[in-house]
Amino acid sequence: MINYTKNRNVAILSWNMTSSPMNVLNDDSIPAFEAALQRAYDDADVKGIIVTSEKNEFIAGADLKMILRNNDKDPAEMLKISAELNRIFRAIETTGKPTVAAINGTALGGGYEACLACHHRIALDNPKAIIGLPEVSLGLLPGGGGTQRLPRMLGMEAALPLLLEGKRVSPKEALALGLVDELAVSREELLEKAFAWIEANPEPLRPWDERDRKTGKIVGKENFKVPGGGVQSPTGARVFGAGTAMVMEKTHGNYPAPLAILSCVYEGLQVSMDRALVIEARYFVKVATSKVAKGLIQTMFLGLNEANKGISRPKDIPATDVKKVGILGAGMMGSGIAYAAAIAGIEVFLKDVSVEAAEKGKDYSRTVFKKAIERGKGTPEKAEAALSLIKTTADAEDLRGCDLIIEAVFENRELKAQVTQEAEPMLAEQGVFASNTSTLPISGLAQAAAKPANFIGLHFFSPVDKMQLVEVIRGKQTSDYALALALDFVKKIRKTPIVVNDSRGFYTSRVFTMYTAESMELLKEGVNPVLIENAGRAAGMPVGPLAVTDEVSLELIHKISGQSIKDGVLNEDDTAFQIGGKFVELGRLGKKSKAGFYEYPADGKKFLWPGLGELFPLAENQPSVEEIKKRLLYRQVLETVRCFEEGVIQTQLDADIGSILAWGFPAYTGGALSFVDYVGITNFVQEADRLADAYGERFRPTPRLREMAERGLSHFEPTN
């Protein structure tokens, strides 16, 4: 696991775990690392130690499965992990033998903390490697001394943003920031430089340590001066204050980790390293055993990895490879999809009503590439290569032989039927036809196809180049083969799929509209719109519900609810339909028309339309922000539960990932189904009942939720 060799009186500890694809810190490797270090300490011939790896990466971090396993156990178990790492890392600093991290590749989290504990850091200048402490993004904090060593090395001003944003950087950037001390161009040079440093520094001492005069032992200084000023210096106090304000503005206190990091730094920098590590461990246990860490690790790390592998793909269909894709409609969505396919090396035929219109769609890719190059990402050659893959046309004949055709013309059933009939015959023998519709049921659209089994929904989100999710919609007749091909395509263009069954609004639009619908109920009750918007953001939604309704357009919301009324699934007195209708009447259609719930002055920031006060007079008693937050979130969660029970969404993971990536459901909860575990199943059912009694049956928990509560279950197991 860790190969131990001796060369020129230096012990080389080279990580090479066979039990996992990457080197990680886990129950096996941590003791092995400690044993290898001990062997070097005990060998009097060994004058120094080099820590490196034989894999392409250095150490990718702590094994998150290990953290998750201990998340809801006795906190003492979690403390053991941190204590063990701290004992090992602190020994590197205090045993007296010069130790160099020869960072040959990616070093993240605990992997980089190991480097921080070494006396010197040399990184291989490998542009693929990433270095940093990203723990915060998973609800954790660096619990192996990272919150203490980084600010002591770089000063608070440089360290805090790295710790609070979990920034990951290339070796070159790491050198510029001071995260590493030197770069090497090859593995040979990496080792040579490490040997040289050890030779020149036989008795290294970290700046925060000193030798005890009586015993000669290395111990932490009690009065170490942090570069740039400690927490109590004027600069330190300013940086700390700004950091706290930034965290509160960004997280509304929903994420405990950044606040815990600030506390670690604040408290830790006032005491010796040995005592600071105890403080850090205490905060680490607090965040690592939190529901937030559980949700983030489960959904946004382990879950996302699973989803990207395509776990929902039918296993018995051989791998497919989309090499040529046709796109109908070079508007906002079509042009974005063309870009995403081209950068994945797929040949694209972009068709619109005229070549000029299609070229306009291609311009979108040109602009994205230009902007990327200006920001130093990508090269003109790469951009040219991708652009040359996009061919524009107005002739359906050019689509002959496509493995996949994606339709993204206007949202109109008749037009969609017409383009389907025109283009479907051009598909290759085993080709699949997909629609990017956002509202029209796939099974209905498939009726226009000659081969409805090869018809599927591929719902992209806008803007396509930034949005990672694709909602793959299975119509009634969609075959396993079509699903497999669609999922292979999504993987090839490096997006994340969720698979849903056909339904009104599919999964994402159906649940997302609950957020806007509930805000309209609140308006109707006379709740202050400022309060509604603040509560939406405080709950962790990216945008307030009224602002986002304006962005989607009140007209569209009115139209969609109107369609649902026609189809008999909604009543005329539906609040969103009524309010939408009123605003359409007033010509306030939303952001596009520069007037909706907000006013959009040409020369300034948007503000809530004062006329709202007349339409919705303020109620005498205003609810608390907490109550509004609850209504906005519970409404979405309950609709997600219904989608799950109806089989629209089939796994908890798809529901969670879809909610976070599609419409920004707050990630700290783990997603729209994990939310139930976040608040606790019993509590959830009780609160939903209370909300139903107070505001209406839309909040009533389903029988299955009650049953889960009785049995103490919080995981949603598919029934079929």
Q: Which is nearer to ligand NAI, 388 or 462 (CB)?
A: 462
Stretch that binds ligand NAI, among 170-178, 326-334, 581-589, 698-706 (CB under 6 A): 326-334
Catalytic residue among 119, 120, 459, 558: 459
Run of H or E residues at 253: none
DSSP 296: I
Name the one range near ligand NAI by CB under 6 A: 50-58, 96-104, 411-419, 585-593. Answer: 411-419
The answer to whether the beta carbons of residues 310 and 355 sit under 8 Å apart is no
User: Given the rule CB under 6 A, which of 4-12, 165-173, 246-254, 347-355 is the region that contacts ligand NAI?
Assistant: 347-355
438 touches ligand NAI by CB under 6 A: yes
Asked whether position 550 contacts ligand NAI by CB under 6 A, the answer is no
Pairing of β 168-169 and β 99-103: unpaired
Looking at beta carbons only, is 147 or 392 nearer to ligand NAI?
Answer: 392
Q: How far, in Å, CA of 687 to CA of 700, rounded?
A: 9
Between 82 and 365, name the residue whose CB sits nearer to ligand NAI.
365
Subset of residues 379 to 408 that bind ligand NAI, contact rule: CB under 6 A: 408
- Encoded one letter per residue, x for contact with ligand NAI by CB under 6 A and - for no contact, window 3-42 reads ----------------------------------------
Burial label, 439 (beta-carbon count in 10 A; 0-12, 13-18, 19+) = middle
Q: Measured from the CB atom, is 119 or 362 closer to ligand NAI?
A: 362
What are 659's two structure tokens?
């909610």
151 or 505: CB nearest ligand NAI:
505
Alpha carbon separation from 189 to 97, 103, 196, 452, 490 (Å, rounded)? 21, 12, 10, 60, 41
Which segment (171-179, 409-417, 527-535, 620-628) binds ligand NAI by CB under 6 A? 409-417
- Asked if residues 304 and 654 have their Cβ atoms less than 8 Å apart, the reply is no
Residues of span 77-136 touching ligand NAI by CB under 6 A: none
Residue type for position 409? V
Pick from 2, 78, 92, 333 the residue near ligand NAI by CB under 6 A: 333
Is residue 357 involved in binding ligand NAI (CB under 6 A)?
Answer: yes
Q: Does 332 bind ligand NAI (CB under 6 A)?
A: yes
Residues β-bridged to residue 68: none
The answer to whether 296 and 668 have CB atoms below 8 angstroms apart is: yes
**Residue 329 near ligand NAI by CB under 6 A:** yes
Q: Which of 79, 116, 179, 328 binds ligand NAI (CB under 6 A)?
A: 328
459 is catalytic: yes
# residues near ligand NAI by CB under 6 A: 24
Q: Quick one: which of 57, 63, 352, 550 contacts ligand NAI (CB under 6 A)?
A: 352
Interaction of residue 334 with ligand NAI, rule CB under 6 A: yes
Give the integer Cα–Cα distance in Å for 148 and 159.
10
Q: Which is nearer to ligand NAI, 260 or 330 (CB)?
A: 330
Q: Specify the stretch interacting with ligand NAI by CB under 6 A; choose among 34-42, 348-356, 655-663, 710-718.
A: 348-356
Torsion of CA 94, 100, 101, 104, to 10 degrees: -170
Q: Determine if 419 is a binding residue for ligand NAI (CB under 6 A).
A: yes
Decide whether 2 or 341 has the Cβ nearer to ligand NAI: 341
437 binds ligand NAI (CB under 6 A): yes
Q: How far is CA 260 from CA 109, 264, 266, 561, in A?
A: 16, 6, 10, 45
Looking at 5, 232, 367, 462, which residue binds ligand NAI (CB under 6 A)? 462
Q: How far is CA 550 from the centre of its chain?
A: 25
DSSP 420-477: HHHHGGGEEEEEEEEE--SSS-HHHHGGGSS-GGGEEEEEE-SSTTT--EEEEEE-TT
Q: What is the x/- site pattern for ligand NAI, positions 218-257, by CB under 6 A?
A: ----------------------------------------
Residue type, 668: Y
Distances (CA, A) of 558 to 563, 572, 698: 9, 11, 20
Closest to ligand NAI by CB, 373 or 415:
415
Each residue 582-621 as x (binds ligand NAI by CB under 6 A) or -, in order, gives: ----------------------------------------
Does residue number 411 form part of the binding site for ligand NAI (CB under 6 A)? yes
In angstroms, rounded to a whole number, what is the distance separating the alpha carbons of residues 382 and 305?
27
Quote the CA–CA distance of 330 and 357 in Å, as a whole number: 7
End-to-end CA distance of the chain: 42
Residue nearest to ligand NAI (CB): 331
CB count within 10 Å of CB 635 equals 24
- Residue 351 binds ligand NAI, judged by CB under 6 A: yes
**Whether the Cβ atoms of residue 58 and residue 106 lie closer than 8 Å to each other:** yes
Amino acid at 473: I
For ligand NAI, the binding residue among 436, 508, 561, 674 (CB under 6 A) is 436
**CB of residue 418 vs ligand NAI: minimum separation in angstroms?**
7
Q: Collapsing DSSP states into helix, strand and coil, what is residue 600?
A: coil
Q: Which is nearer to ligand NAI, 359 or 689 (CB)?
A: 359
DSSP 665: -
Q: What are phi and psi of 512, to 5 degrees?
A: -55, -40
> Tokens 């997006």 identify what position?
495
State which residue, 60 or 419, has the beta carbon closest to ligand NAI: 419
> Which of 228, 331, 401, 664 touches ligand NAI (CB under 6 A)?
331
Residues 6+ apart with CB under 8 A from 85: 25, 30, 110, 113, 143, 144, 145
CB of 475 to ligand NAI, least distance (A): 15
Which two structure tokens, joined as six digits, stand for 602?
């040409």
Nearer to ligand NAI, 461 or 675 (CB): 461
Q: Considering the complex, what minimum distance in angstroms separates the CB of residue 311 from ligand NAI?
A: 24
CA 607 to chain centre: 30
Binds ligand NAI by CB under 6 A, chosen from 330, 399, 484, 560: 330
* Residues carrying an active site annotation: 459
**Residues at the site binding ligand NAI, with contacts judged by CB under 6 A:** 328-334, 351-353, 357, 408-411, 415, 419, 436-438, 459-462
